[in-house]
Amino acid sequence: MWRCLEADLEILVHQGHLYVPLLFDPEIHQESQALPFEKYVSEASPGGVPQSSLPAALTVKDRRFVQAVSAASLLEHYGRLFPREHEKRRLLLREQYSLTADLWGLALDPKLITIVFHILPHFLRREGFSPRRSLGEGEILDLIRERLRIPRRFHQEAQRFLDLAPLKVALQRLETAKLESRPPPEGLVLTATLRAWWEQNLTAHLLAEERARLLQELEDREPWAQAQEGRLAVLLYLADQGSLELDGFGFTRLKKGQDYRIYKRTGPYALKDFFGRLYLFPDCRVAVASLGRLRPVVVDHYKHPFLRQHGSGQDICLGAESPYLTFSAKNVIQALEEGINALFYGYDSRRRQGYHRLDALPGMMRLVDFEDYRIPEDHPLIVSGHVEVKNRTT
């Protein structure tokens, strides 16, 4: 189709659809005899009313045309068919309207926003017992700022970001551009005319997209312009680094794309076996990835009755009734808690659960051994209360 547009031809446009001429070929001519050719009647002419279903083939001045694609699809799908050329055109337009300078604002990744403002506060603990209330966005950033040292360059970036003037000027420049798209010309037209129409409409389409992007950026940045520079520096730092750890809760950006590994540390804890003997488990990170199904895993090299091996990145055995959860603040919190609760409270020495037992019965083959975790009951960490025995009730 794109080659047809490049050639010097006459094509027919009818109700927004393109009809291309049939080739002068005996075989095609023979096949086309079977097609019901309707005579083309312009909508502008008397009796020419828009038809509900478009004819597959039309004749104009004894020339035969068959239906191809809609004119609108040439605009809509250009970006998908020719992504490089599409991006090139976009960059040229940005240069033409001076949209490239000082406009590369902060990309507020929606997943990062969810993690920082909706998941992190759940696991945070403030000092004292002041009346419980949910933290605002600014307060969360203040809390992070108190506990993290933000490099100076992020404060400088924040100052630049707060200046909205270049963005507003760029939008004003775009106001002068023609953003409306026109319908394609009707009837027999030269491909050069159709190409001109397509060029104009594609430009309008791209400019409208740019304007929407700038408006969105302005909408994102305006609330921040009122906030303190320090808070914004924290957010810029998080967007740049993609990782943070506070109160045992943390996240790191995965190498590919805009996805994150979100984790919560367990801290050391103890479990008891059937005979009441204690086993001290070291700290580990229970994590979920924001990509696909949320399944809690232990990131670190670790062993536990609910892990298949002594290794890293293992799924925690949660049983068959574990629901299918996808990324949202509520689901991430639920998945992390399920994982931690399984490690802490899931093991019951009287039941056959998980993959392994803490206590080995005589003559039993053990794939994972927990003898090295054994501690006496009067271990200082247990006596002082620094480490809890999580399954005393079972």
Partner 1 sequence: MSDTQVKPEDQPKKVARPLPLVLEIIPGQAGEGLVMVMEPGSFEGRSLRELCQQALSRTDFSIEERQILEDIERQLKGGKLLCQGRDLEAPAQTFGTVEETGAGEAYLYVPVRAIKPQEGGCFP
- Selected from 273, 281, 354, 370, the binder of partner 1 by CB under 8 A is 354
Nearer to partner 1, 54 or 135 (CB): 135
Q: How far is the CB of 323 from partner 1 (least distance, A)?
A: 12
One-letter amino acid for residue 178 of the chain: K
Residues in the interface with partner 1 (CB under 8 A) total 45
User: Is position 352 an interface residue for partner 1 (rule: CB under 8 A)?
Assistant: yes
Of the candidate spans 105-113, 199-207, 275-283, 318-326, the one that interacts with partner 1 by CB under 8 A turns out to be 318-326
For residues 157-196, which are near partner 1 according to CB under 8 A? none
Angle at 316 between CA 313 and CA 317, to 5 degrees: 140
Of the candidate spans 29-37, 43-51, 194-202, 385-393, the one that interacts with partner 1 by CB under 8 A turns out to be 385-393
Angle formed by the axes of helices 229-241 and 152-162, to 10°? 110
User: Is position 350 an interface residue for partner 1 (rule: CB under 8 A)?
Assistant: no
- Four-CA torsion 267, 272, 278, 283, nearest 10 degrees: -10
Residue 261, helix vs strand vs coil: strand
Element (H, E) at 10: strand 10-14
How many CB atoms are located within 10 Å of the residue 20 CB? 18
User: Is position 295 an interface residue for partner 1 (rule: CB under 8 A)?
Assistant: no
Q: How far is the CB of 129 from partner 1 (least distance, A)?
A: 5
User: Is position 345 an interface residue for partner 1 (rule: CB under 8 A)?
Assistant: yes
Nearer to partner 1, 130 or 172 (CB): 130
Q: How far is the CB of 393 from partner 1 (least distance, A)?
A: 5
- Phi/psi for 280 (5° steps) reads -95, 115
Of the candidate spans 71-79, 101-109, 131-139, 370-378, the one that interacts with partner 1 by CB under 8 A turns out to be 131-139
Spell out the residues 6+ positions from residue 89 whose beta carbon is closer than 8 angstroms to its own. Answer: 202, 203, 206
User: Is position 388 an interface residue for partner 1 (rule: CB under 8 A)?
Assistant: yes
What the block records as the tokens of 215 is 């408006």
- Phi/psi for 123 (5° steps) reads -100, -5
User: Is position 133 an interface residue for partner 1 (rule: CB under 8 A)?
Assistant: yes
Nearer to partner 1, 208 or 382 (CB): 382
292 class by beta-carbon count within 10 Å (0-12 exposed, 13-18 middle, 19+ buried): exposed
- Selected from 102, 186, 247, 359, the binder of partner 1 by CB under 8 A is 247
- Selected from 104, 129, 275, 324, the binder of partner 1 by CB under 8 A is 129
Spell out the residues 6+ positions from residue 276 whose beta carbon is closer than 8 angstroms to its own. Answer: 377
How far is the C-alpha of 87 from the C-alpha of 206, rounded, in Å? 10
- Selected from 48, 319, 323, 380, the binder of partner 1 by CB under 8 A is 319
One-letter amino acid for residue 50 of the chain: P
What are the residues binding partner 1 (CB under 8 A)? 121-126, 128-129, 131-134, 247, 264, 305-306, 317-320, 322, 333, 336-342, 344-348, 352-355, 385, 388-393
